[in-house]
Structures are given as structure tokens and as C-alpha cells.
Structure 1
């Protein structure tokens, strides 16, 4: 059985990841798009979810790919129409808002999936299995990319509370999968002189006696860096390329085939029609803690065309 699903919001992430993944799926198919600026995508286009549901009565679910600041109304609309809901990360503009979503879905009796796509990278579950039974001593994270490449001209990324934590929360989603219960102890957040969100962040965390450090940047030129090193009493594992590759003591380990978004949508296909809720907010809470505990520094002004 193939479920009819709609994409809500047709920006870069939807075009780069969501549309190709749905095109390759045998369990879900693109039944429509909700967007004010969609081109011909081979599916009905509507301005609202309600309008699309009228056009496509068999619509079963929506995947929200809009910026996170205005999703509550969209989730409420979708649930009222009897639709299951999948949400691109970060789930909302604040933790308190995101915490409402599970209750809304539960009351409506519909499935809700707040996704963390980096958790589905091919090396993450093998890394979790490798860590089992070992004593973790130290974790270091380097998550550095160029906002100009991944969010070209998207000013919403500089709204308060977003910035470098848009990619940084990907690293935190892997970290909280591998080291649940991680606590943030301190942070330094660096803000461009002309922006309201940080472009760099250094985090100090811990889990018991395990020291955890993370360095995030949204201003990385040249090769991009998404790595996590986990030192244990029985060797060292390193996740590279956003968790897609796993190395143990510098030797690469075979990992499952498939893509992050392929696994996300497979999981959502399992949830449709069941009323299941997957709404873990532990990575998002670490982001909120960073803003609460972080020291603020100002750096040079940001320019898209630098």
C-alpha cells in the first residue's frame, strides 16, 4: 500500500531531499504540494492544506518543510483534517512550542513524527552498537559548514534562536542518541555584528565523567566538516560526513546502505494510520540550554556575497 502524502513548503531542503526520496519510495507517493511559489512538480499545488485536501481526498499525511517559526497553525490545520504529520528539524522556534505538538496529535488521534534526519545517517546505529558495554571517556564534535551554500539568501536563518544551531542541532541529535542524558555546562555564542543569531558556537557538555565538547560554525569555507569522535576504554570511533561513515581506530567499518531521508520516510510510513508519536526533543533542549547559559560575543558583520 502506498500512502498519499503532501509536502508543505517547497524550499531547498524539500527539493534536495524530500521530493527525490518520495519519488523513490514504494510506500509513499507525492499527492500534492502546499506552497505559494511551487513550479510544475507533477502534483497538485494548493495555497493551504485544507485546499489541497479538497483536491486530493485520499491525502493521508503531510510533511512540513517550512521554516520552523510558524508551524503550529499548520500542524493544527493538518490534524483537524485527519492527517498524520511529519516535521522537518528543527521542529519549532522554541522548546515550549514544540512541546505542545505531541499533545495536539494525541488529542486528534493522529501520528506525529518530529524528525532528526542526522540520527538516520548510516553510521549512527553501528556506532551505538559499538559503544555498548564500553566506558566512554571523551567526545569531541566539529560541525562546520557554510550557510551561503546550504541556505543561500534565506534570511529566516538569522532570526533569533536559529543561526548556527540549524546545522548544530544535527550533531546534537546524534549525540543524544549515542550519549543520552548529556548535560550542557557552558557555551560561547558568537554573533555577527549585524545579525540576531549566532554564526559560531562552542559548547561544553558532560555525561557523568565523560567530557563532551562541540565546535559549530556557519562560516566554514572550502571543505565542510561534520565529525564526531568518541574515545573509550577500548578504542576510538569516529563518525565522519555527518554520520554517514564510521571509523574504529582509523579503520572504516561497513555500514548499512540507504539514505537518511529514506529511513525517515520509511519510519513515517510505519506510523501512518497508527496514532504513533515520535517527538523526542532532547537535542532541542540542549540548544535552549546553550542560549540560557552561553556567553555572547560579537564578531564581524555577515555578508551573503563574501
Structure 2
């Protein structure tokens, strides 16, 4: 990947790389301000990101789409983060406290409200078009996972953002856990001989009434499963690829209700690398990743990556709220430093499962 000034031509690293793709925009040349360039050409020519209050920059942000994840995490976390002012929300279904509400994204843009960034929380299928329009409006982007429906859309979005000097952050919330960071540190330099993902939950409980998940582009059981993929792509000391997959698809739906995946290493390491995703488990969910190494170390990440066991002993235990606190803290740093952070690997793994997976009819889902 080439790095250069905002006026130079740059190419993004291929999104099929297993490594994280960092897309860096240029730093401001104005002495004493590394934020001056970020809104150039946006918001009627404002020169600075946000508004100075008490000697620091307050980032004006809008959350678009008030579904469950926005209500549970994005809105309260953004509202309490001192770096941000929750200036607006976009929702056709409701509002959030006294925050200014717009029914559509078009209404938001037409209002002329002063914004620096938007968080996009709508389902992935319509997200590309709204993200593209957000860049045109001069807004930086925080994308709830998955960032787009396809790798092609993500590539096009990054190119558009780079051309308009906008920041893009793909927020894989499960990666923002201390337990995940520690697992990555412990596995560095070791040889993994076995990895097993067990990501099982009750779709009726976790996705009530969400018909979009069963439609093309809705991901099916990979909607939660991509969280597991985001963790393993971060902690594994070597890259992993999809070898094959079995996709169980209800006869009246377009996306899988369960999947069995076998991974492989592109560098010839003999290892047992598997995943089981299932939306039919009732009761408590199982969001677990087990790892064994040739050196004798065993790890288990559980509760969605918030808890870590090392050789059977719990060493770290966090909560899901800390994930989103980490997301917004990181987004603030990206905006202040003028960098994008884009990780395409989890989306690539899901795409490869659909490409290589053998489809099996399952009972209708009713």
C-alpha cells in the first residue's frame, strides 16, 4: 500500500489480503492543527473538525438507523463520550431523547446541519448507497459490521472516500476486547494445531421480526458468525482461508440458518481449523473460540470474545459495552490523526464461504 499526501494518487492494499488494510490520508500541513484538512470542502467550507469547546475538539456525529444495536450500544456510548456530540439521528421508526431526528438521510443532508461524521447502523444491503452519499455530503464514516454487502462495494467505497479525503472506520466490535488483544499477544509466534469456533444462538430471540437477514445480502447465520471471523482473523498468528463449507438453508429462505466451515492455512501448516454456526440453539448462546497450540498453550475466548481462559484459568473478563466504548475512542483518534482503519478480512471470509459452500436444503423456517 502506498501512502502519500491527500493530493497524491494512492492504491489500497488488495482487500483479499489477510492482514488489516490501513488506508492513511495525509496529515494537515498547517502548523498546530492536524484536523484542519479533514472537513475541507465539506459543511460549507468549515476548516476544522467539530467545534472547539473548552480547548478541545467536539466531533459532531449522527447515528443513522435506530435498530437494536444502535439503541443498545451506539447511542448511549456516543452520547457519553466526551469527544463526541450526538447532534442528530436518522430513523423512520422513532427518536432518541431530545436529539434532533430526521426521517430519512436525504432530509438530514438537506437540513444543512453541521456534522463531521455519521455512524451507519442500517442493514448492510442499503448501506453502500447511503455511505456513498454521506461521503458526497462531506461526512466521515463509522460503519457497523458488516461494512457492506460485498467486497466490491467496500473497495468502491474506499476509493470514493479517498478521492474526497474522508475517513472510513469498519467497526468490528468483537475485536475491541482486552481478551481478544491478549489472545493475539499470547498466540504470536506459536503454531496453532487446532481452532474451533462454536457460534450458536436463537435467531428468534436475537433477531425477532428481522426479515432482511433471510434475504439475499442479509448474511443469515453469518450475521453473528462474522463476529467470530473478525476475532479469529485478528488473533491467528498465520493467515487463514476458507477450504470448504456446508450451508444449511431453509427451503423458504435465501440465507443459511446453520453452517459448518473448514479453514486452511495458505502456508502449508497442518492444522484442524473449523467453525460451527447455528441459529437454532435455544436458551443461552454459545459464542466460543477454542485454540490449541503445538507448544502446549490452550486458549478459550467465550461470551463473544469478552472472556479469556488460558490453560483452563480465567485471566480476563470484560463486557460487551466495553467493545463500543473502544470503538468510539478509536474513531475519535482516527479523526484527529487523519487515518482510516479498514479491515476487510471478516467480510472476505464470509464471501468465500458463500462462494465455496455446498448448499443443503433445511426445513422451512416458520
- 1:186 maps onto 2:244 in alignment: yes
Matches within 5 A, 1:168-187: 168-179=225-236, 180-187=238-245
TM-score (norm 2): 0.79
| Contact preservation (8 Å) 1:188, 1:201 | yes
Which secondary structure state, in structure 1, belongs to the residue aligned with residue 66 of structure 2?
coil
| Contact preservation (8 Å) 1:140, 1:230 | yes
Structure 1 stretches of 4+ with a deviation exceeding 4 A read 53-56, 255-258
Further displaced range: 137-146 or 30-39? 30-39
Whole-angstrom CA distance in 2 between matches of 1:121 and 1:218: 24
Whole-angstrom CA distance in 1 between matches of 2:113 and 2:120: 19
Matches within 5 A, 1:110-121: 110-121=166-177
Partner of 2:17: none
Whole-angstrom CA distance in 2 between matches of 1:9 and 1:74: 11
| Contact preservation (8 Å) 1:4, 1:31 | yes
How many residues were matched structurally?
Answer: 303
* Aligned residue among 263, 279, 284 for 1:223: 284
- 1:74 maps onto 2:130 in alignment: yes
How far residue 115 of structure 1 moved from its aligned partner, in angstroms, is 1.5
Whole-angstrom CA distance in 2 between matches of 1:27 and 1:255: 26
- 1:10 maps onto 2:72 in alignment: no
Partner of 1:284: 347
Whole-angstrom CA distance in 1 between matches of 2:124 and 2:175: 19
| Contact preservation (8 Å) 2:178, 2:316 | no
Which secondary structure state, in structure 2, belongs to the residue aligned with residue 36 of structure 1?
coil
Which secondary structure state, in structure 1, belongs to the residue aligned with residue 331 of structure 2?
helix
| Contact preservation (8 Å) 1:134, 1:234 | no
- 1:242 maps onto 2:304 in alignment: yes
Partner of 2:328: 265
How far residue 21 of structure 1 moved from its aligned partner, in angstroms, is 1.0
CA 1:274–1:56: 2 relative to 1, 3 Å: farther
Query: What CA deviation, in whole Å up to 9, does each residue of 1:163-194 have, x standing for no partner?
Result: 00000110001011112520111100001121
Q: Where does structure 2 lack aligned partners over 5 or more consecutive residues?
A: 1-56
How far residue 6 of structure 1 moved from its aligned partner, in angstroms, is 0.3
How far residue 130 of structure 1 moved from its aligned partner, in angstroms, is 1.0
**Structure whose alpha-carbon radius of gyration is higher:** 2
- 1:253 maps onto 2:310 in alignment: no
How far residue 128 of structure 1 moved from its aligned partner, in angstroms, is 0.6
How far residue 122 of structure 1 moved from its aligned partner, in angstroms, is 2.9
TM-score (norm 1): 0.94
Further displaced range: 100-109 or 250-259? 250-259
Whole-angstrom CA distance in 2 between matches of 1:256 and 1:199: 29
How far residue 300 of structure 1 moved from its aligned partner, in angstroms, is 1.2
* Aligned residue among 75, 93, 99 for 1:37: 93
Further displaced range: 193-202 or 264-273? 264-273
- 1:298 maps onto 2:361 in alignment: yes
Further displaced range: 194-203 or 256-265? 256-265
| Contact preservation (8 Å) 1:230, 1:236 | yes
| Contact preservation (8 Å) 2:194, 2:273 | yes
How far residue 145 of structure 1 moved from its aligned partner, in angstroms, is 1.0
Whole-angstrom CA distance in 2 between matches of 1:205 and 1:66: 30
Partner of 1:166: 223
Which secondary structure state, in structure 2, belongs to the residue aligned with residue 197 of structure 1?
coil
Q: Where does structure 1 lack aligned partners over 5 or more consecutive residues?
A: none
Which secondary structure state, in structure 2, belongs to the residue aligned with residue 203 of structure 1?
strand
Query: What CA deviation, in whole Å up to 9, does each residue of 1:136-167 have, x standing for no partner?
Result: 11101100011112211010000124100000
Which secondary structure state, in structure 2, belongs to the residue aligned with residue 277 of structure 1?
coil
Whole-angstrom CA distance in 2 between matches of 1:297 and 1:83: 43
Which secondary structure state, in structure 1, belongs to the residue aligned with residue 365 of structure 2?
coil
How far residue 239 of structure 1 moved from its aligned partner, in angstroms, is 0.3
